[in-house]
Amino acid sequence: MANVGLQFQASAGDADPQSRPLLLLGQLHHLLRVPWSHVRGKLQPRVTEEMVCEQADVFASACALARAFPLFTHRSGASRRTEKKTVTVEFFLVGQDNGPVEVSTLQCLANATEGVRLAARIVDTPCSEMNTDTFLEEINKVGKELGIVPTIIRDEELKARGFGGLYGVGKAALHPPALAVLSHTPDGATQTIAWVGKGIVYDTGGLSIKGKTTMPGMKRDCGGAAAVLGAFRAAIKQGFKDNLHAVFCLAENSVGPNATRPDDIHLLYSGKTVEINNTDAEGRLVLADGVSYACKDLGADIILDMATLTGAQGIATGKYHAAVLTNSAEWEAACVKAGRKCGDLVHPLVYCPELHFSEFTSAVADMKNSVADRDNSPSSCAGLFIASHLGFDWPGVWVHLDIAAPVHAGERATGFGVALLLALFGRASEDPLLNLVSPLGCEVDVQEGDTGRDSKRRKLV
C-alpha cells in the first residue's frame, strides 16, 4: 500500500470495471438509496472506489478510507514495485444536500487524509529510523511547506532553560531530546490555541524497564506528536483563523549511564519539583514541560495535549475510544461530539483533582511522578499530573486526550487524532466542511449584541 495515492474527485466518470476495478462503500441504508442510473456506467459491461454517504459523513468516511492505505513498509517486494497506483474516490451523496461534492471539499479531504497518512507513517516507522533527529526533519519539512520556521530547543539548552522533565527523560539517548514549535499567527486572530504532542520516539521504560512482552510496539509512543503534526499541516492549509501553536515534546526514553534514576528529583519548567518513582511514567513529564511552555511563553488560552499516555486508557475507555480529561464540561461534551462526527471516537474520564491528586504526594518534593495506588483511576491521575503544572485554578481551557489504544489497530498505526483535532477546532477554520463537522456544526459564531472580552473570542464549542 505504500505506493498508493488517494485522489478525491466529484465524478470519476464511467469505465469498464475490468480495467478499473470498482468498490462501493457505505452504510447499508445509504447504499440502498443509490439509484441504478448513478452507477450503471461504472458496472457495465462488467462490474476505483465509490463512497456512498450523506454530506455530514463525507469527512469521517474519507479519513476512515485513508487508514486503509498505510505509507510505511519495508517488505522487500514493495521496493521492487516502482509504479505508483492511484485510487480514485468518488462520493455519491444521498439524503439532503445530495448534489456533487464541491472542489473545496475535495481539497479539504485531500489535506485531511494526507495528515492521517503522515501521522500513521511516523508512528509505523521504527526508532532506528524515526529518532528525534528524524522527527525534527519531519517538522522542518512541514514548516517549509507552510512557510513557517520552527522554534527548536535542544539537548543542554533544555537543561539550561529549565525543561527538567523533557531533558531528564531524554538525556540518556544517543539522539538528544528537543522541544519544537510550529506557530501560525494570522491577522484577526481572537484567541491563542496550543496543541501539545507527546513524541517519545521509543519507550524502553528507562531504568524502570519494560519486559520483553510490553516493550515491542513502543515505537508508537510518539503517536500524539505525529497526530499534532498531521493535523497542524491540514489545518493551516485549509485556513486557520486563530493563533495556533503545535508544540512537540520529543525524546527517547532510553537506558544508559546518564539515565534518570528512581529517587532523582527534577525541576520542571513550571517551577515545581518532581520526585521520580517510576521512570516508565515519562510521558507526563515531557508534557508537563510542554503545557507550561504553551502557557508561559505562548500565552495560550486553550491548551490541548495529546498523548499515548497510559496502558490503562485501553481498559478505561477501550480500544476504539480515546479518553478525554478536561477542566471544562463544555469541552468534554464537544470532544465526544466531534469524535462522533469525524470517526475518532472519544469518551470522558473522571476529572476530580480534589480526590485523585493526593496519589502523587511526596515527602521531599512537590509531587511524585507516579501514583501510589494503581487501582485508583490511573489514567485520570496521569492527566491530572499534567494539569497540575498549569495549576488547577488556571483560568484557561485545558484538554487532555489519551490515545494509547486507538493509535493502532493490530500492528498498524491508524493516524488517530488528526481528524479529531480538525473537527474539534473546525469553527476556527475557513473551510466549510470543517465548520460542518465541528461541535457547533453550522451555528453562528457569536450572538448579536454580545459584549465583553469573552464575546470577542471565536466560539469553538
Instruction: Tell me the C-alpha distance between 181 and 346, whole Å.
Output: 26
Contact 48, 69 (CB under 8 A): no
Q: Which of 67, 117, 272, 284 is catalytic?
A: 284
The one catalytic residue in 159, 161, 210, 412 is 210
Gyration radius from the chain CA atoms: 22
Measuring CA to CA, which residue among 148, 355, 142 is closest to residue 234?
A: 142
Residue-wise pLDDT for 369-393, tens only, equals 999 999 999 999 999 999 999 999 9
**How far apart (Å, rounded) are the C-alpha atoms in residues 212 and 216?**
7
How far does CA 257 lie from the centroid of its chain?
33
DSSP E strand boundaries for 15-121: 24-26, 49-53, 85-93
Phi, psi of 6 (to 5 degrees): -105, 135
Residue 210 annotated as catalytic: yes
pLDDT in tens, 337-348: 999 999 999 999
Question: Residues 361, 277: contact at Cβ < 8 Å?
Answer: no
User: Which comes out higher in pLDDT, residue 226 or 94?
Assistant: 226
Summarised one tens digit per residue, pLDDT across range 159-217 is 999 999 999 999 999 999 999 999 999 999 999 999 999 999 999 999 999 999 999 99
Amino acid type, 395:
P
CB 401 within 8 A of CB 304: yes
How far is Cα 214 from Cα 110, in angstroms, rounded to an integer? 36
Cβ within 8 Å of residue 209, ≥6 positions away = 215, 255, 280
Q: Specify the DSSP class assigned to residue 392.
A: T
The answer to whether the CB of 120 falls within 8 A of the CB of 70 is: yes
What amino acid is encoded at 279 in this protein?
A: T
Could you tell me which of 193, 227, 209, 198 has the C-alpha nearest to residue 63? Answer: 227
Contact status, residue 293 vs residue 197, Cβ threshold 8 Å? no
Report pLDDT digits (tens) over 96-149. Answer: 777 788 999 999 999 999 999 999 999 999 999 999 999 999 999 999 999 999
Strands 273-275 and 265-267: antiparallel
Predicted structure pTM score: 0.91
DSSP H/E element including 143: helix 132-146
List the Cα angle 230/108/58 in 5-degree steps: 105
Q: Is 220 a catalytic residue?
A: no
pLDDT in tens, 62-71: 999 999 999 9
